[in-house]
Amino acid sequence: MSAIGDGMNQSAMLAELVRRCDLDIVMVAGRYTLLDQSAARDLLPVAADRGVAVVAAAIYNSGLFSSDRPRDRARFDYEVAPVELAARRLTES
């Protein structure tokens, strides 16, 4: 068995790739989480239309969701999470 796929940490380019290429699967990292659902707007609809499987990776997005409460200097997108995002994380989880 073989498959052709790609993976990225943003969803817009993956959506365009799915539109233009015959892929079996894509991996989207960090763009389908409780705080960032951009993949639901651009990638997931086109993947469903084309029959392309999607794997959501990095669902903790650099650690902001890796504990029951955000830690000091919790990270999001590999940087220290802005205070307002860390506060939103408490209400979204």
Q: Which of 5-19, 27-41, 61-75 comes out lowest in average pLDDT?
A: 61-75
50 and 70 housed in the same domain: no
Specify burial of residue 49 (Cβ count, 10 A radius: 0-12, 13-18, 19+). exposed
- Is the pTM value of this prediction over 0.85? no
Residues of the domain holding 17: 1-59
**Do 72 and 54 reside in the same domain of the chain?**
no
Check whether residue 67 and residue 55 sit in a common domain.
Answer: no
**Are 20 and 52 contained in the same domain?**
yes
Q: Is the pLDDT of residue 24 over 90?
A: yes
pLDDT, tens digit (0-9, with 9 covering 90-100), for 28-46 = 999 998 888 999 999 999 9
Which is it for strands 79-80 and 5-8: parallel, antiparallel or unpaired? unpaired
Report the C-alpha gap between 76 and 63 in whole angstroms: 7
What is the pLDDT at residue 92? Answer: 61
Q: DSSP class of residue 6?
A: E
- The total domain count for the chain is 2
pLDDT mean over 65-85: 79
Q: Angle, nearest 10°, between helix axes 43-50 and 12-20? A: 20
Q: What percent of the chain has pLDDT over 90?
A: 55
